[in-house]
Amino acid sequence: VYSTWQLAKKYLQYYLHASNGQGHGMHSPFVFDFILRVLNNGNGYQAPPEIEALRQSLLSDPERLPMLDLGAGSRKGGAREKSVSLLARTAVKPRRYGQLLYRLARHYRPAGIIELGTSLGITTAYLATANEGARVTTIEGNGAIAARAGKHFEALGLKNIESICGNFDELLPRVLQEGRRVDLAYVDGNHRYEPTVRYFEQLLARADAGTIMVFDDIHWSEEMEKAWEVIKEHPSVRYSIDIFFLGFVFFRDEFKVKQHFTIRF
Ligand SMILES: C[S@@+](CC[C@H](N)C(=O)[O-])C[C@H]1O[C@@H](n2cnc3c(N)ncnc32)[C@H](O)[C@@H]1O
């Protein structure tokens, strides 16, 4: 895992070398549309404010939850318990990225969404409210955290989420075998090389040209950078977009040669 200093240096490199994020000179209509409408919110999509209100209340919630050692964990190492407020501050995707995923789901209207790593359910809620016709399957290995997320879905009145508790290693193949659609997959947990590439391959077996996959923290560690390299170089990936804290891959066949974009967000 990279230190804060190494990560900051990497972020700076990304920021200086990335395309400016306005879409100028972009030859792919699909990527141009993605930059304009999803990254830059050209359509003015407004996420429901209740989700940020929930995050605010969690930020001062002292309840302590037991931690399990399931994946790569956090950069700050393994505590046996963490407060909800600490999780809300450190494990949950910040508003800017939650709302970006909201716009992604609102714009492309994926019918079947799979999230690996529910945590407190904030990003799940963004995905589920973006398209109420979608079915969101979210997997979390820590039962205490999953139970907390379930309460949040209830409080927000979200009915299109199926929350399952268990290890991705077991549950992802099972869920995919049951024939769930994979129109959008968000992989945000167990940030290590081998499992990340394995989840990608398992999801890929059920993907089609319209599928979108999003990987979290692709520059978090050497292992994750290696996994991201393998994923974006996979022959079935036609486009990839790197915005540093998230990586998007697309399978649509717009061009013969694959394209990779690093875009400032
Ligand atoms: C970074 S958090 C997810 C954050 C959430 N997607 C959000 O944006 O609000 C990652 C979660 O994945 C869970 N996790 C990590 N490895 C796992 C595994 N192998 N199986 C099941 N859950 C796992 C952790 O318990 C943790 O709650």
Q: How many other CB atoms are there within 10 angstroms of residue 254's CB atom?
A: 14
DSSP for residue 6: H
Q: What percent of the chain has pLDDT over 70?
A: 97
Q: Residue 160 carries which side chain, given as an amino acid letter? A: N
Centre of ligand 1 to C-alpha 257, Å, is 34
Instruction: Kindly report, residue by residue over 53-72, the tens digit of the pLDDT.
Output: 999 999 999 999 999 878 66
- Please tell me the distance from the alpha carbon of residue 133 to that of residue 136, in angstroms, as a whole number: 10
pLDDT band, very low/low/confident/very high, at 124 (cuts 50, 70, 90)? very high
Q: Residue 239 carries which side chain, given as an amino acid letter? A: Y
State the closest ligand 1 atom to the C-alpha of 98, by its place in the atom list counted from 1.
Answer: 8
Average pLDDT of the residues of the chain: 93
Instruction: Look at residue 255 and tell me whether its pLDDT is greater than 80.
Output: no
Helix axes 122-130, 143-155, angle to 10 degrees: 40
Which of residues 19 and 246 earns the better pLDDT score?
246
Instruction: Kindly report, residue by residue over 161-196, the tens digit of the pLDDT.
Output: 999 999 999 999 999 999 999 999 999 999 999 999
pLDDT of residue 151: 98
Q: How many other CB atoms are there within 10 angstroms of residue 90's CB atom?
A: 12
Q: Report DSSP letters for 108-176, one per residue.
A: H--SEEEEE--TTSHHHHHHHHH-TTSEEEEEES-HHHHHHHHHHHHHTT--SEEEEES-HHHHHHHHH
State the closest ligand 1 atom to the C-alpha of 91, by its place in the atom list counted from 1.
Answer: 1
pLDDT band, very low/low/confident/very high, at 1 (cuts 50, 70, 90)? confident
Instruction: Kindly report, residue by residue over 30-52, the tens digit of the pLDDT.
Output: 889 999 999 999 999 999 999 99
> Which of 168, 193, 194, 216 for a ligand 1 pocket mutation test, highest count of atoms within 8 Å of Cβ?
168
Which of residues 71 and 1 earns the better pLDDT score?
1
Whether 172 lines ligand 1, by a CB cut-off of 6 Å, is no
8 Å CB contact between 20 and 35? no
Instruction: Look at residue 154 and tell me whether its pLDDT is greater than 60.
Output: yes
Whether 73 lines ligand 1, by a CB cut-off of 6 Å, is no
Whether 23 lines ligand 1, by a CB cut-off of 6 Å, is no
Centre of ligand 1 to C-alpha 125, Å, is 15
pLDDT of residue 257: 81
pLDDT of residue 75: 54
Centre of ligand 1 to C-alpha 186, Å, is 11
Q: Residue 123 carries which side chain, given as an amino acid letter? A: T
pLDDT of residue 26: 73
